[in-house]
Structure 1
């Protein structure tokens, strides 16, 4: 029996050691598996954190110097950051966060300083012995798909504010419908429904909106749908029948203003006090309001237009010409002979010439004859192509159902590449179904 005691003891010792090693490994693995407090891509558990705001007249160099960063290191950081985020671009009131570690003598050292460019974007400045680093990042956000409706009492922006909707939604709707809806002719009772993505940081802090997945705008009893669909490699918005929402000319050359005078052949001039034709539309707006070309064309006149003050005239296809009067100035690069594209910035609202206040006098001529800018017929851009019709109708029907509250979440369109929509019927199947 004695011959067996020693091997058995050895086996017991080895087993005990194996158990101990297994426990150590398990503890290490468990520690590694513990969730870390990651902030701006940095493990915040390893640091003491301080937060602050950029004060009036404060530079990043001054802030860093307050954390013990030397002038030589700040100069090195200034050179390294020029191509990523120049240090001079920091702004008063923006937040910053310092990540500080203490050495064996409990002396504090700044490892990172994070500057928040806006609600979602930030810059991380790193300090590692004698080297520095600069990187940009964006906070993670969650996306909620939302459907909202509102009735207009005064203006689109007013309805957005009354319903506590994101302000950016008003700008998005104006961009989508700028060829179709007359935002200067909105009446009380007009309404809209829109499906859009809203972004949230930490699942609670609003951080803007994403894609507008569809809209329905009712003006004067007529409904205008906006259906997103990808054609020719680009997502655009289309009417219910597949016509493009984009038209030959924008409805107006500027935003956020009101019509102060309309097209007429008998208006009493506010300065000369006599009746004379006013063959244009006056848009009252603050001085400096951006003015955009309503269509592609070529600048044929730039200069002083007498009573019209600083004036631009642009020639377009179809023997059309547009005029922009009383400008305070012209956009950079605009000169006689310049080619401009639809929506391009061309100048700014002013009060030059015979004017009683800042406004834009906008005019259109066809074959040299003045026509009312508010009544010009609109030619749509290229419609949905025949080969895309079945896929478009698939997307349209589901977006329309979602706008009307008639679709389940699992049936919603979640991407818009018509070539890979798995449920989209083939053209032959769609034809057979009809």
Structure 2
């Protein structure tokens, strides 16, 4: 071995040996196994969800919002946004399968999504058809169009009110969606006389209100309600039996009765059932075996129950245009002074409960628009407001225990809702 090689070997040994020694004898730090506890102690950095508008990330675009103006067409909007005619023609063809562009309405909102660079090219166009549905035209890469629906959010709410004048007014007084009045009038149509609402009557209700973008779009499911009318509480519980939802009272009796309480909505009683009434035209006293509901001409009139039309005619010196419906072997109803008849209503036709049959008018011997409504039981006139039609389709006996368990917490919740003051806000 030459002296040079020997020198290199000695140097290598001098350098490497200390390094190996240090590596073998370096202080060892204890390691901790990864457990749920150690994971919990680690700092978690949460990445915020991107803000979306019509499913598109807001921070990725320059956004302009506007509304369709009078005499403005789809082509006008795209031309103003810098889109050329050939592209507009392609857009129209792409939209056709999902929306008729001729149905664009004045005042409906639309949104333009531009790129963030200096070119400001249109990337997406969105037209809102209504509160929930919208059309998206995407111009990125290739042109495509599709229809989508905004997320509808259910918010569980309670409402209560004491009536001063009308159910509708009470709703507005207590900042309750007035559409709830319509829902309650439908639910309790067979048990509460909404034309005879008295001061002090009250209601409590659990329901869902529907929201899109924090804006209410209507009333959803009514879970339970109670209406206090003329000293009595009428409960309604939304219960599913045989895969169908119905409203039942606390005893499991259906709130759907054989007859509606009244054949029209939102009116007032101008004359009640009487054996001696001063006739407003003839000025003589004679029996008035019906109920007069004052309402504007054209107000819809509905069949009180299922039945067959046995008369549809005109009586010049009496009831004017009138319809007579035979419901069963016991009951017959008559609707008089009609302005006209609903389409398809002829003698012999069958009608369903709540079906439109005609419109309030002032034909015949009448001083103004109203419906003269009469009920005959076994051929004899009876007071329509005193009909106590039996309920139909009660909860089945084998389901009664489950029904009782289902409604118990709902009833407790309803009873616990405080009634607001009857005074106006």
TM-score (norm 1): 0.78
* SS of equivalent to 2:416: coil
* Equivalent residue in structure 2 for 1:108, among 101, 104, 121: 121
**Partners of 2:245 and 2:332 in 1: how far apart?**
30
1:17-56 map, 5 Å:
35-56=49-70
**Could you say what secondary structure the match of 2:115 adopts?**
strand
> In structure 2, do the counterparts of structure 1 residues 102 and 302 end up closer, same or farther at CA, with 3 Å as the change threshold?
farther
Deviation at 1:32, TM superposition (A): 12
After TM superposition, the structure 1 = structure 2 runs for residues 337-416 of structure 1, keeping only pairs within 5 Å, are: 337-405=348-416
Deviation at 1:286, TM superposition (A): 1.9
Q: For residue 330 of structure 1, what is the aligned residue in structure 2? A: 341
What does residue 12 of structure 1 align with? none
> Does the Cα contact within 8 Å between 2:158 and 2:207 map onto a contact in 1?
yes
TM-score (norm: length of structure 2): 0.80
Corresponding residue of 2:313: 303
How far apart, in 2, do the equivalents of 1:82 and 1:276 lie? Answer: 65
Q: CA deviation at 1:74?
A: 5.5
Unmatched runs of 5 consecutive residues or more in structure 2: 1-11, 17-43, 418-425
Provide closer, same or farther for how the CA distance between residues 107 and 384 of structure 1 changes in structure 2, counting only shifts above 3 A: closer
1:199 to 204, 210, 222: 210
Q: Deviations over 1:326-363 (max 9, x none)?
A: 22233233222222111122222222333222222212
Cα distance in 1, alignment partners of residues 380 and 137 from structure 2: 62
Query: Is the CA contact 2:360–2:369 (under 8 Å) kept in the aligned structure 1?
Result: yes
Q: Residue in 2 aligned with 1:245?
A: 255
Structure 1: state its 5+ residue gaps: 5-29, 407-434
CA contact (8 A) 2:133 2:147 kept: no
1:172 maps to which residue?
183
Question: 1:215: Cα distance to partner?
Answer: 0.8
- Contact preservation (8 Å) 1:101, 1:111: no
Judge conservation of contact 2:124–2:136 (CA < 8 Å) in 1: no
Is the 1:68–1:110 contact (alpha carbons within 8 Å) kept by the matching residues of 2? no
Which structure has more RCO (C-alpha within 8 Å, separation ≥ 6)? 2
Cα separation, partners in 2 of 1:236 and 1:76, compared to 1, 3 Å: farther
3-state SS of paired residue (1:327): strand
